[in-house]
Structure 1
């Protein structure tokens, strides 16, 4: 019952295409596909299950290409869309090489202009993701004519991103100015325009656009995020230009609960400190110092806060805070050392493989809260690295693929068992069925010969009447009996003439009846021929039904052995390859984690040295201040 409901749901969902994401490509799209397997692939794609979507749609397309009459396939009206989607799904699953080939096939095939342009856009995004901006820009130059929906804005925004990646900031600025007020990209375009202008040395113009982006209205998640980022970049750029008062205004606009809040609080404190307002700097630094100690900005604030107290000549308070920071750094260094040792022992990979965590959208954050799991404590920060994310995704995909391959191998065993049961059921029945079929075949042959012979005679009689051919069986028997009696008359016997006269009369009656009823008899015979044809059609339907049934029965267990052996060999080869790749990918993941954690530890060790010197200096200053106070008294 569940499968029909899922198929119905995916067909309903397919009637509405999701909006294209600004960060890279759109989702699957199709208009009410009647092919249920295409609909099922779309259903999986809408759930983000790219592997299942690729497998189902790729299989459906492969079967469609092998059909003798593809126009009869329910997929036929949607083949172009399916070819486009399979490349899109492969792109979602990070199969960039195959996705590129699929999308190129759509571009070079016979498709509508909007669909072709959409495919070129996807191909350009693919090149952009693969860090090939020059190839991506060449692809965009192939776009001409109509674009589906609002894709024209996305194309221009991508063009601007590519130009910036190539260092052609002046050209990028021209494109971004044209689309900076377009709905959906206004914030992103404004931010990139500000950065682009600054890269050209047009600092004031760049600041103006960042300022405008940093104050744009809206409560959507993407708007608030780009607004915070613009204010953060603007604030730190102003700090570098010694414009601390303006930097303070920009940094204070960043939300306290956003992803950029820690860096903004740190910068806001330094903006106050650069103006000599150390009391004001205490406010953002105090807030920041109380947050999660694993964040680099928080760790820096733990040193900045006592630095401000020192500037305010509260040396005792500064010494205590430096001591607290030193203690926290020591604990974090111990945690990092434990994390490094734990990662090297392989516990990180085991923690990442916990299925129950994957059921929650925030499973990465929750990893750090696992008891006695130091290998995951800094994972959330590591996940900010694109390379680490890709390595992690590849490892988890390999793990999932290993599980799927094992499941498929078990499915093949089930298929073989099912085929064996079918063979054991059908083969004993076939001899009796074949005997009945031979009898039916003989009847069809006999009736066919009779029909052809009668039909040939009847059509000949339409132009050359032959009444004697329409005599009934009783009339033929009577004529034969009269002929026999006529031969048996003995010449010169008494009553010979009377008997001959009567025989002639009876023969005349029979001939009269045949001649006068010829037309009716001819009509009745054609009706009988129609009934015979109808009987022949019934027998032919029974014959065809038998052939189909027998073929279906035999094909349900014959011809699968070779295919199963081939699939089993492919699965075995794939499992062997996955088994070799998983440890290697796991080592890459562990090496990246160890390298990142080692850098964090080295940084904290440097902070420890700074804190020790600062403690000593604070105590010296406190003692001097105390001595001067006593001297003054």
Structure 2
């Protein structure tokens, strides 16, 4: 399918796949504001921000991390839709095929997968596969819009196969009006025109411009351009049938603003000339003379006008017009030569002025901003194949930008890693200067001494050893008083001796009573000290491990090195692909310039022959008015149409809105989508 059609299809596809996903029956009862998996929520956030590239990246990251949980087939449908929108047909086909592998999936999910597989097959020209996929649709669970487009694709397949009678029958069965039906009618008429069935083709063209216009539609310009193309094509079909008045009517109803009006103006002149209305024929052709000379219709008008003068018997005006045409053709050849030189020595990317936009490549209708040289090649640039290659170049540039960004990021990451390693080395020197092993060993020795003391106290039940300083002082004083009372017993009364013994006994009793509590507290403090000491030793071991082996830095450095290799490999592949695409585009542009040069040379030779013929006729008939001979450059009995069997030649029909109507290389427009979402 043509590039513009694919992009418009992708607009519908990316939105509709999301709608189909969130409308799956298994999640019909859930509020749309809830997500069961944060990664799915991040994906939806980027999707609604129209950052499709990042949305697809989040899906890939989630898949590597184990997949998105709690949302069924929704992530897969979104991934398939965005992949197709970015032109990743193989990936999209694989995703939708996997969805169909499980027959227990809901009908809406299976319908969505079959429908997109049909579209994929159609874009690849695989008519049988597309037809087979459409046949698998469950018509009881299909939306109205999906059913309409499925009918359009089915009829388009018949047209592509050349089964025109079957296609006509299929179109007649489509009752509901839609934009797809308009494109079908146009394609049907174009196919009939290529087959020489102009009389049969005209009613299909009429159906296009008779279809009601939706004024509030976002595609209003598309509808108007399609009408203009249908009227222009019908006019040339009527020229071929000799219905010159009807052709004039159709040509005159084409808007004058689009570039497509050039064909209508040219055809309108020939329709009038064939009715011998020579003055009437001059009006549209003279309008063409005011337009850019690079258009083929303008170039032809420079020959048609003097030819009309000859028919009117104005030999002098004809000779002057032929001379002006000769000069214009010579100037055009000079411009073509300069354009060729510019194209060969300039950077094609700068000439195309392709802006890098990683999201709008396929999800938006875009046309490259063209400079003077590329504008001169508007015919080629408007063709689908060229646009598709330019689109690929834009995608490649986006990938190049992504690789460049990652090159910068990797450099920053390496600098951060080096800075962390440097800081760690400085910290290691600080740790080494503090001599942590000696400090830890001293603390262990002190802990061991304290543990030995506690063990001795427990073994000897030396509860006085656990007394605090104040209590120990009291015990010492009581022991001293008791000892004195024993030495001076003869000098002291019994009461005094008893008091000394009682005071000593009370203190000993108090210490005996608090011994178990104090021992428990000491054991708890000892356990805490052991834990802290173990933590210090473990922390020191971690520091040593980080210094000696760097378990956090080394794996990261290894991953960065592997990423650098991948980037370098992808950079080489990308550069080779970009060179290939650029070379192909340049060759296409040069070939188009050569075709234009040959066409202008033909017109130039015709102008010179006509001038010579008029001079020769004037010399032989000095007193007569020169008239057109049988060897005239353009025969009045037939209009100079590039393709006799095709009302509109896709290679010469350019519109001011290339996204509006897209004709393939054979002259027929593809069925396009409206950008609406499936229901």
**TM-score for both structures, normalised by structure 1:** 0.67
Among 543, 555, 566, which residue is 2:562 paired with? 566
Deviates more, 1:35-44 or 1:213-222: 35-44
Partner of 1:579: 575
Q: 1:239 touches 1:271 (CA, 8 Å); kept in 2?
A: yes
RMSD between superposed Cα atoms in Å: 4.0
Query: Closer, same or farther in 2 for the Cα pair 1:279/1:425, shift >3 Å?
Result: same
Q: 1:395 touches 1:586 (CA, 8 Å); kept in 2?
A: yes
Q: 2:188 touches 2:204 (CA, 8 Å); kept in 1?
A: yes
Q: Secondary structure at the match of 1:150?
A: helix
Q: Secondary structure at the match of 2:293?
A: coil
Q: 2:185 touches 2:204 (CA, 8 Å); kept in 1?
A: yes
Partner of 2:309: 309
Q: 2:99 touches 2:110 (CA, 8 Å); kept in 1?
A: yes
Per the TM alignment, residue 207 of structure 1 is displaced from its structure 2 partner at its CA by: 2.2
Per the TM alignment, residue 242 of structure 1 is displaced from its structure 2 partner at its CA by: 1.4
Residues 403-448 of structure 1: per-residue CA shift (max 9 Å, x gap)? 321221221232344455667779979x99xx9xxxxxxxxxxxxx
Partner of 1:448: none
Partner of 1:612: 608
Residues 353-397 of structure 1: per-residue CA shift (max 9 Å, x gap)? 5659999998745522xxxxxx43424322122222222222333
Q: 1:303 touches 1:611 (CA, 8 Å); kept in 2?
A: yes
Asked if residue 60 in structure 1 is aligned to residue 56 in structure 2, the reply is no
Residues 172-229 of structure 1: per-residue CA shift (max 9 Å, x gap)? 2232222254333342233344456667887555422322322333151222122112
1:74-473 alignment to 2 at 5 Å?
75-78=68-71, 80-109=73-102, 111-144=105-138, 145-148=140-143, 150-195=145-190, 204-218=199-213, 219=215, 220-353=220-353, 355=355, 364=368, 366-368=370-372, 375-419=373-417
Partner of 1:72: none
Q: Secondary structure at the match of 1:76?
A: coil
In 1: Cα distance, 2:285 partner to 2:378 partner: 23
Partner of 2:14: 27
Kindly indicate whether structure 1 or structure 2 has the higher relative contact order, using CA contacts under 8 Å at least 6 residues apart. Answer: 2
In 2: Cα distance, 1:226 partner to 1:176 partner: 18
Q: Secondary structure at the match of 1:349?
A: helix
Per the TM alignment, residue 57 of structure 1 is displaced from its structure 2 partner at its CA by: 2.8
Partner of 1:538: none
Query: Closer, same or farther in 2 for the Cα pair 1:322/1:48, shift >3 Å?
Result: farther
Gaps of at least 5 residues in structure 2 are 1-6, 23-32, 438-534, 626-679
Q: 1:33 touches 1:78 (CA, 8 Å); kept in 2?
A: no
Query: Closer, same or farther in 2 for the Cα pair 1:365/1:318, shift >3 Å?
Result: farther
Q: 2:247 touches 2:268 (CA, 8 Å); kept in 1?
A: yes
Query: Closer, same or farther in 2 for the Cα pair 1:42/1:246, shift >3 Å?
Result: farther
Residues 441-486 of structure 1: per-residue CA shift (max 9 Å, x gap)? xxxxxxxxxxxxxxxxxxxxxxxxxxxxxxxxxxxxxxxxxxxxxx
Q: 1:262 touches 1:297 (CA, 8 Å); kept in 2?
A: yes
Partner of 2:469: none
Q: Secondary structure at the match of 1:627?
A: coil
Query: Closer, same or farther in 2 for the Cα pair 1:564/1:322, shift >3 Å?
Result: same
Q: Secondary structure at the match of 2:125?
A: coil
In 2: Cα distance, 1:46 partner to 1:362 partner: 20
Query: Closer, same or farther in 2 for the Cα pair 1:186/1:128, shift >3 Å?
Result: closer
Per the TM alignment, residue 628 of structure 1 is displaced from its structure 2 partner at its CA by: 3.9
Q: 1:169 touches 1:199 (CA, 8 Å); kept in 2?
A: no
In 1: Cα distance, 2:600 partner to 2:257 partner: 25
Q: 2:303 touches 2:607 (CA, 8 Å); kept in 1?
A: yes
In 2: Cα distance, 1:613 partner to 1:192 partner: 40
Partner of 1:9: none
Per the TM alignment, residue 607 of structure 1 is displaced from its structure 2 partner at its CA by: 0.6
Partner of 2:481: none
Deviates more, 1:572-581 or 1:44-53: 44-53
In 2: Cα distance, 1:129 partner to 1:590 partner: 25
In 1: Cα distance, 2:137 partner to 2:307 partner: 58
Per the TM alignment, residue 299 of structure 1 is displaced from its structure 2 partner at its CA by: 1.1
In 2: Cα distance, 1:416 partner to 1:111 partner: 47
In 2: Cα distance, 1:572 partner to 1:602 partner: 45
Per the TM alignment, residue 612 of structure 1 is displaced from its structure 2 partner at its CA by: 0.8
Gaps of at least 5 residues in structure 1 are 1-19, 66-74, 369-374, 436-542
In 1: Cα distance, 2:621 partner to 2:196 partner: 49
In 1: Cα distance, 2:210 partner to 2:236 partner: 16
Partner of 2:640: none
Count of aligned residue pairs for this structure pair: 484
Query: Closer, same or farther in 2 for the Cα pair 1:362/1:578, shift >3 Å?
Result: closer
In 1: Cα distance, 2:196 partner to 2:339 partner: 44
**TM-score for both structures, normalised by structure 2:** 0.63
Structure in which a larger fraction of residues adopt helix: 1
Q: Secondary structure at the match of 1:182?
A: coil
Per the TM alignment, residue 306 of structure 1 is displaced from its structure 2 partner at its CA by: 1.6
